[in-house]
Amino acid sequence: MFAVSLGDDGAELRPLEPWQAEEFLAHMDRARDLVDQHVRLAQVVTDLGSARAMLVRYAESQAADGGRLYGIWLDGTLVGGVMFRLFDADAGTCEVGCWLEPAATGRGLVTRAVRVIVDWAVERRGIHRVEWVVSSANLPSVRTAERLGLRREGVLRESSVHHGKRQDNEIWSVLAPEWRELRGTTG
């Protein structure tokens, strides 16, 4: 198994796999109230069976060169994650997503973790377009997209339903040449 250091604060990015279902569920129980404000993940992962099912679904997707799921650990505790919700190497596109539990917010963990996976997608896999879809009401996630240098392309007005209410979703993106410029690298 690999672990990528996210800095000198003990934070690491690692694959999140089916054998970690109990740890994932415990984390989601700590994260549930915060995550559930904007992300359906809290509604999907409610018990050990559903935690394992989600991790298996992403393991199978990764095996088929599709979506991938990574956990963020801080001092050995799972505190959040990042993902390729969608990953289409043939089309050169992917969509990234994230979540955190309350104790881990405000530390830049998601920003650092997303940089790692986007660097990999662009530089190793040849992804040309990276998308970030976020509820307009999810201001911490919007600010993360801004910090990462993504561009806001538009708003899909009332495009999804969360807890019975229609919500606007913003589309943010970065193209490979833009990402390389932001990161100071060449292709």
Judge whether 111 and 143 are in contact, CB under 8 Å.
no
Mean pLDDT, the chain, as a whole number? Answer: 93
Question: What pLDDT is attached to residue 184?
Answer: 84
Q: Inform me whether the pLDDT recorded for 187 exceeds 70.
A: no
Q: What is the pTM of this model?
A: 0.92
More confident residue, 162 or 85: 85
Provide the 10 A C-beta neighbour count for residue 81. 26
Provide the 10 A C-beta neighbour count for residue 74. 19
Q: Which residue has the tokens 């934070």?
A: 11
Q: Inform me whether the pLDDT recorded for 79 exceeds 90.
A: yes
Q: How many domains does the chain have?
A: 1
Write the CATH number for 142: 3.40.630.30
Range of 119's domain? Answer: 4-183
DSSP symbols for 57-83: HHHHHHHTT--EEEEEEETTEEEEEEE
* pLDDT digits 0-9 by tens, 25-48: 999 999 998 888 788 888 889 999
Distance, in Å, from the CA atom of 81 to the CA atom of 180, rounded to the nearest integer, reads 24
Q: Inform me whether the pLDDT recorded for 186 exceeds 80.
A: no
More confident residue, 88 or 34: 88
